[in-house]
Copies of this chain bind each other. A is one copy, B any other.
Amino acid sequence: MKRLTKAERQENLKERLDEDPFLIDRELAELFNVSIQTIRLDRLELGIPEVRERIKSVARQASSKVKSVQSEEIIGELIDIQLNDGGISILESTEELVLEKSKIVRGHHIFAQANSLAVAIIDADAALTGSAEVRYNRPVYVGERLVAKAKVEKIKGNRFYVKVETKINGESVFKGEFIIFSVKDDLMNREG
């Protein structure tokens, strides 16, 4: 994209963030061919909070719809949810999630994001994982942002077939197929 005037850039910036509120400053800087500092100033002038705040605000709305788990028990930030249909969550690959030596995100964290999303979208008092088939397409490194998208493919009785695909900047890094069981609240407490 060729360099725009400040007014043009700010208008464009606002539009882009309306479409995709999860673009980070670095991505916006590359997009508009300006420095990150310039983007920060643009956001300040436009009154647009930083990406973390934007995600939080969307996450608060989405989380309020979850029934099957406590929303704080979801791994990643839930940013969209339609019960028994689908949902999206975002997980930032922080240092705590990676192997020390290689800085590669541990596979079970990527699994946890997908699995907890698959459970969260179920419209039930509680839901448990029955089985899963997962595939890791490439290593994920510290700093990369994992966007997981879940879709309920089929419902048979209390059995939910959920597909999850996790992407980084549009590139698929993980795919999973989960079978989740919905459970009634009164069956959850074991006898004795």
Contacts and interface: CB of A to CB of B under 8 A. Distances in A.
Interface of A: 69-70, 73, 75, 99-102, 104, 106-108, 111-112, 115-116, 119, 126, 128-136, 139, 141, 183, 188-190
* Secondary structure call for the A interface: mixed
Q: How many copies does the complex hold?
A: 2
A111 B115 contact: yes
A135 B73 CA distance: 21
Given A73-B100, A100-B73, A115-B108, A131 B126 contact: no
Given A111-B111, A128-B107, A190-B141, A70 B100 contact: yes
Contacts of A141: 190
Q: Which residue, A107, A116, A126, A190, has most C-beta atoms of chain B within 10 A?
A: A107
Contact of A101 (B116, B126, B135): B126
